[in-house]
Chain A
Amino acid sequence: MGFDRTMETRGDIVTLDTGSAADSPSAVNLHRRIEGRLAYATDQQELPGLLHGAILRSAHPHARIIRVDSARAWGMPGVQGVVTAADVPGLNRFGIVVRDQPVLCDDHVRYEGDAIAAVAADTREQARAALEAIEVSYEPLPVISDVTMAEQQAAIHDTNGSNLLARETLLRGDVDDAFARCAAIVEHQYQTPRQMHAFMETEGGVAIPDGQGGLVFRVGCQSGHRDAQQLADILGLAPDQVAVEAVATGGAFGGKDELTIQPVAGVLALQTGRPVMIHLDRFESCRAGMKRHPVSVKITTGCDAGGRLLGHRVEAVLDTGAYASLGPAVLANYLDHATAPLYRIEAYRVSGRLVYTNNGVCGAFRGFGGNQATFAVESQLDALAQKLGIAPTALRRINLRSPGEPGSRSQTVRWTAPPADVLAEAAASPLWSARHAGAGRWLTGTGMAMGAQGNGLGDDLPDSGGGQISLSPAGRIRVAFGFSDFGQNIAEAITCSVCDGLGCQEDDVEVVLGHSRGPDSGPTSASRSSVLMHGVLTSLLPRWKAMVCHQAARLTGYPEDGLEPGPGGLFLNNHQVLSYRELAESSDPDCMVAEASQDFPVAPGHEQPVGRYLQLQIATVARVAVDRLSGRVRVTDLHHVTAAGRVIYPPGYLGQIEGAAVMGLGMTLTEDLPTRDGRYVADNLDQYLIPVFHDAPRQRVDVLDNTPKDDPFPVRGVGELGIEAVAPAITAAIEAATGIRVRQLPVDPGDLLMALSAQEQDL
């Protein structure tokens, strides 16, 4: 699998090599994806009888619907179907945690992306043209757009007494007493932006009647099984009448965790009896799609004269927009991270409120609330270190947890390396010794931050998953999981693991993903796939190996215990005696099927997770250059020290850390989608600016792994780890360069320039 070619080893720590990763034979799909040659669900334009759907979105961020008249749309050219709320056969609501979002709005619209009606026509253009013929009468309602005032305003959901969707507080010890004993206390307000996923492939897919009253969905999504359950309820179908195939997906990052176009496509497909494809364009994706929760938080943190953290108080408000989606779980994860999982704090009171507004919809996004909290917590530590007059690394060293210590929620924690070792590696980064310019146009500086990221769905959520292995009729080792592949290359990670476990070659393995009628592996989220995949394969591979050897022994007459699977087939004394194809052709396929499932690991003594048991760490060192002329920030280098278990697929590991870091860089420097009166101020990627290649810094990814050989959970998921500490590392570097600490993201160059100018005038 080319492990040695892609990693440079220095004792316990290895550096992943970018150049070699791209050349890995497993990276074929990476190249196909980058070159635009990977077929997405919406590329299936040749489906017989295919219709194209279009959705009428609300004209107002908040209004009562008086009347919807779709009669004229039926007469428009090419129109084959028109649906409104009355046509939804089952439950006209969806939502992973709270089913509060209408498929098609009946009496209220609560954000400008709300769907009211939809059309299926022979072409996309005809469908869109027919939307113009649908008349909707509204009674506009006051727009609730200020999250800090929303709880005092009329509830936007009739079922709730107020706009407060959820409130949660985590407590430890006596906070007031702890603060009373502090020698230094810092209190600051932090704000993080509403970030857009900006995936390459906007939301899309096709609903196909199966000829027996049911539907098959081919879509870009993150959880085929969960989606199938929700869709059956919406469509009034039995669960076995709905199948979801999560085909190759052009990025998701949490933005396709919730249902997107599936419900409306399904309703149209049932009405017309024909396949219906819906593919949002970028404008519609911006307007209707999920976003990251903006968070406003006040944090007070204090320590004694020796730097030991004593008190920590957090009061956060998260704007969830019009519907809940995964908001309550995001709030829970935010608060978990706000307890500062890496550090010992004697007492804390960490509370948060999740509030409905008419500002779009927020839900899952890589980091899942955790990185927003880490930005504030790490910034607090830097402020405290400054107040004490000690180095930020010194303050962290004093407070970092040790392996074996309980976590911030008093739960058992399984780290893959001591946090102090991660800090030590980051403190030794060559970026610290780079020369810092003190004069001239560019001000340069280096800063660092740490972050912890847990694997698994988290607090109180049931979490399990399974997989299957079999031999295909063509003689390939078919490995099936319910996960979706949206660019994280889980298929390649599975292939590498199977090759390592069976000694076969990559061409022998065929990975099948994302079929709701296949094994249920649970959602592709929460950095959980790699953990489950490894656990399930650890159970499956020895059993399947025994099955195959048993069958091969029967066919060849060789002793079963002398046979071994290898490249291309079965071997005896290093000589191939049977190919996998020959084995498949001569065998009943059912005799070589193995299945396994497992619960996601939880801390011993707990039935459901509290906080996170499997914890990862990252320390990110950032080097920046700040333009004294304009206040613009250029991130020149990011050095990540990661402790996230064993690397089974280096290109995937590297891609996740680097990709997530650039996403975090975007959130820190340019990305935000504010609203004005409930409407987004940007509507396309020419106004909402994500980083481009020239914004991406040099990056180095180091891996520190002390998991013992017999560790039951040596492989962890790294999909979110890379974003965790980027923002506070960059703002720490900006402070090192300029003396100015930025606490509101994205960094506003104009504000930074004004502060620089004021500072110069003070000199």
Chain B
Amino acid sequence: MRPESPRQAVSFAKRFRAPYMAGGTWLQPVWERDRCWPGRLVMLNPGWPGFRGVDENSEGLTVGALTTLDELARHPLTDPYLPPLKGLMNHVAGPGVRHLGTVGGNLLAGGDLLALALALNATVDLVGGKGVNSESLAEWIREPSPGDLLRSVTVPDCQGWPVAVEKLGHRERFSPTRATVACAHDGRQVRLAVCGEGGAGRLVVTEAMLRDQGVPGLKDLATVAGSELQALGWRDARLRLAVRRILSFLLEEVNRGV
């Protein structure tokens, strides 16, 4: 189905219980694997206003959900706002997938960008049955409303913030993320986020400890972050250890930039 507007897309998706389709790089292999293709797809149109492109505004930097990963990586505003993105993008899928895959698809699939967006306290614009509304990305991924269509994601003006991100995959390139960890300092506090095999989310308890204690001992960080990761769904102790170590490494990097 090729809806004429985002509202119609939402209506089609709800009426026919049909999935949205953008780049298809994530969904297609899933369907192929299951040998179960949906009868209907709702094709999203990158020509709809606000759905594609990168825009600097009073809120910060807004990226259309149908912007391809490659477009985002090459955009001139990306470097000043998101300096670590270029390095990270080299580790996101392969060139062919980056040409097709979209920012929205990556966020929805729990891809690498999610940790960075969460750490930057991103907000999302969603098209629903009643129009467009904004909410925090962290809240939205916790309880997404079925059928809501992601129009764009906005990160605050983070130019000058020390931001660091690290991906752990199975191999050097073209690997699903095992864990992507992001760390940002907004001038007042450190924000930490993670996505990957154990799930995605902000590490708010660890952030609070950092806020209260300044630079904690490694042992404290390991204990608190380890517990928080476990509560989030990171059951593999070995992977938790890796995430804790990466967190500690990124914190040092970010603190050096403060």
Binding site for B on A (CB under 8 A): 283, 441, 628-632, 634, 669-670, 683-684, 686, 689, 691-695, 748-751, 753-754, 757
Bound Cα distance A570, B175 (Å): 57
Bound Cα distance A441, B168 (Å): 14
Please list the 3 inter-chain residue pairs (A to B) with the smallest Cβ-Cβ separation, ordered nearest first: A750-B238, A694-B172, A694-B173
Contact of A695 among B172, B238, B242, B249 (CB under 8 A): B172
A594 CB to nearest B CB, Å: 49
Bound Cα distance A1, B250 (Å): 53
Task: Write out the residue numbers on chain B whose beta carbons fall within 8 Å of the beta carbon of A630.
Answer: 168, 242, 245-246
Contact of B245 among A629, A684, A691, A692 (CB under 8 A): A629
| A631-B242 in contact given A683-B33, A750-B236 (Cβ < 8 Å) | yes
Task: Write out the residue numbers on chain B whose beta carbons fall within 8 Å of the beta carbon of A749.
Answer: 238, 242
Smallest Cβ-Cβ distance to A752: which chain B residue:
B238
A669 touches B33 (CB 8 A): no
A136 CB to nearest B CB, Å: 17
A283 touches B241 (CB 8 A): no
A629 touches B172 (CB 8 A): no
Bound Cα distance A751, B241 (Å): 11
Q: CB of B171 within 8 A of chain A?
A: yes
30 A-B residue pairings within 8 Å (CB atoms): A283-B32, A441-B249, A629-B166, A629-B245, A629-B246, A630-B168, A630-B242, A631-B242, A634-B172, A670-B170, A683-B33, A686-B176, A689-B170, A689-B171, A689-B175, A691-B171, A692-B94, A692-B171, A692-B172, A692-B173, A692-B174, A694-B172, A694-B173, A695-B173, A750-B239, A751-B238, A753-B241, A753-B242, A754-B238, A757-B241
Task: Write out the residue numbers on chain B whose beta carbons fall within 8 Å of the beta carbon of A753.
Answer: 238, 241-242, 245
Task: Write out the residue numbers on chain A whose beta carbons fall within 8 Å of the beta carbon of B249.
Answer: 441, 629
Bound Cα distance A357, B33 (Å): 25
4 extra A-B contacts, CB within 8 A, seeds A683-B33, A749-B242:
A631-B242, A669-B171, A694-B173, A695-B172
A636 CB to nearest B CB, Å: 11
Bound Cα distance A704, B32 (Å): 49
| A693-B173 in contact given A629-B246, A630-B242, A684-B33 (Cβ < 8 Å) | yes
Q: CB of B29 within 8 A of chain A?
A: yes
Smallest Cβ-Cβ distance to A631: which chain B residue:
B242
Smallest Cβ-Cβ distance to B246: which chain A residue:
A629
Bound Cα distance A669, B33 (Å): 25
A200 CB to nearest B CB, Å: 15
B28 CB to nearest A CB, Å: 11
Task: Write out the residue numbers on chain B whose beta carbons fall within 8 Å of the beta carbon of A692.
Answer: 94, 171-174
Task: Write out the residue numbers on chain A whose beta carbons fall within 8 Å of the beta carbon of B242.
Answer: 629-631, 749-750, 753
Bound Cα distance A523, B140 (Å): 60
Task: Write out the residue numbers on chain B whose beta carbons fall within 8 Å of the beta carbon of A689.
Answer: 170-171, 175
Within 8 A of A (CB), among B154-176: 166, 168, 170-176
Interface centre among B168, B173, B245, B246 (most CB of A within 10 A): B245
Bound Cα distance A632, B176 (Å): 15
Smallest Cβ-Cβ distance to B170: which chain A residue:
A689
B33 touches A283 (CB 8 A): yes
Task: Write out the residue numbers on chain B whose beta carbons fall within 8 Å of the beta carbon of A683.
Answer: 33
| Interface membership of chain B positions 231-258, coded 1 if the CB is closer than 8 angstroms to chain A and 0 otherwise | 0000011110110011001000000000
Smallest Cβ-Cβ distance to A441: which chain B residue:
B249
Bound Cα distance A683, B29 (Å): 11
Task: Write out the residue numbers on chain B whose beta carbons fall within 8 Å of the beta carbon of A695.
Answer: 171-173
Smallest Cβ-Cβ distance to A628: which chain B residue:
B245
B220 CB to nearest A CB, Å: 16
Task: Write out the residue numbers on chain B whose beta carbons fall within 8 Å of the beta carbon of A670.
Answer: 170-171
B197 CB to nearest A CB, Å: 11
| Interface membership of chain B positions 46-57, coded 1 if the CB is closer than 8 angstroms to chain A and 0 otherwise | 000000000000
A131 CB to nearest B CB, Å: 11
Bound Cα distance A131, B242 (Å): 46
Smallest Cβ-Cβ distance to A683: which chain B residue:
B33
Task: Write out the residue numbers on chain A whose beta carbons fall within 8 Å of the beta carbon of B33.
Answer: 283, 683-684
Task: Write out the residue numbers on chain B whose beta carbons fall within 8 Å of the beta carbon of A694.
Answer: 171-173
Task: Write out the residue numbers on chain A whose beta carbons fall within 8 Å of the beta carbon of B171.
Answer: 669-670, 689, 691-692, 694-695
Bound Cα distance A735, B85 (Å): 34
Smallest Cβ-Cβ distance to B244: which chain A residue:
A629
Interface centre among A629, A634, A670, A751 (most CB of B within 10 A): A629
Smallest Cβ-Cβ distance to B172: which chain A residue:
A694
| A684-B246 in contact given A670-B170, A692-B173 (Cβ < 8 Å) | no
Task: Write out the residue numbers on chain B whose beta carbons fall within 8 Å of the beta carbon of A629.
Answer: 166, 242, 245-246, 249
Bound Cα distance A628, B244 (Å): 12
Bound Cα distance A751, B176 (Å): 20
Smallest Cβ-Cβ distance to B242: which chain A residue:
A630
Bound Cα distance A757, B238 (Å): 10
Interface centre among A441, A669, A683, A692 (most CB of B within 10 A): A692
B12 CB to nearest A CB, Å: 26
B175 CB to nearest A CB, Å: 6
Bound Cα distance A631, B245 (Å): 10
Smallest Cβ-Cβ distance to A669: which chain B residue:
B171
Task: Write out the residue numbers on chain B whose beta carbons fall within 8 Å of the beta carbon of A686.
Answer: 29, 176
A754 touches B173 (CB 8 A): no
Task: Write out the residue numbers on chain A whose beta carbons fall within 8 Å of the beta carbon of B241.
Answer: 750, 753-754, 757
Bound Cα distance A683, B174 (Å): 17
Task: Write out the residue numbers on chain B whose beta carbons fall within 8 Å of the beta carbon of A628.
Answer: 245
Bound Cα distance A266, B249 (Å): 60
Task: Write out the residue numbers on chain B whose beta carbons fall within 8 Å of the beta carbon of A691.
Answer: 171
Within 8 A of A (CB), among B22-46: 29, 32-33
Task: Write out the residue numbers on chain B whose beta carbons fall within 8 Å of the beta carbon of A632.
Answer: 168
Bound Cα distance A533, B237 (Å): 55
Interface centre among B170, B171, B236 (most CB of A within 10 A): B171
Interface centre among A283, A632, A634, A691 (most CB of B within 10 A): A632
B171 CB to nearest A CB, Å: 5
Task: Write out the residue numbers on chain A whose beta carbons fall within 8 Å of the beta carbon of B238.
Answer: 631, 748-751, 753-754
Task: Write out the residue numbers on chain B whose beta carbons fall within 8 Å of the beta carbon of A283.
Answer: 32-33
Smallest Cβ-Cβ distance to A283: which chain B residue:
B33
Task: Write out the residue numbers on chain A whose beta carbons fall within 8 Å of the beta carbon of B173.
Answer: 692-695
Bound Cα distance A634, B241 (Å): 19
Task: Write out the residue numbers on chain A whose beta carbons fall within 8 Å of the beta carbon of B29.
Answer: 684, 686
B141 CB to nearest A CB, Å: 23
B90 CB to nearest A CB, Å: 9
Task: Write out the residue numbers on chain A whose beta carbons fall within 8 Å of the beta carbon of B172.
Answer: 634, 692, 694-695
A58 CB to nearest B CB, Å: 16
Bound Cα distance A693, B245 (Å): 27
Bound Cα distance A338, B91 (Å): 40
B180 CB to nearest A CB, Å: 12
Bound Cα distance A196, B175 (Å): 18
Bound Cα distance A631, B176 (Å): 17
A655 CB to nearest B CB, Å: 21
B174 CB to nearest A CB, Å: 5
Bound Cα distance A757, B242 (Å): 10
Bound Cα distance A754, B236 (Å): 12
A288 CB to nearest B CB, Å: 15
Task: Write out the residue numbers on chain A whose beta carbons fall within 8 Å of the beta carbon of B236.
Answer: 750
B52 CB to nearest A CB, Å: 26
B103 CB to nearest A CB, Å: 20
Smallest Cβ-Cβ distance to B236: which chain A residue:
A750
A621 CB to nearest B CB, Å: 21
Task: Write out the residue numbers on chain A whose beta carbons fall within 8 Å of the beta carbon of B175.
Answer: 689
Smallest Cβ-Cβ distance to B222: which chain A residue:
A757
Interface centre among B33, B236, B241 (most CB of A within 10 A): B241
B135 CB to nearest A CB, Å: 32
A73 CB to nearest B CB, Å: 17
B215 CB to nearest A CB, Å: 18
A635 CB to nearest B CB, Å: 10
B160 CB to nearest A CB, Å: 25
Task: Write out the residue numbers on chain B whose beta carbons fall within 8 Å of the beta carbon of A757.
Answer: 241
Bound Cα distance A631, B242 (Å): 8
Bound Cα distance A736, B202 (Å): 38
Bound Cα distance A716, B175 (Å): 38
Task: Write out the residue numbers on chain A whose beta carbons fall within 8 Å of the beta carbon of B174.
Answer: 692
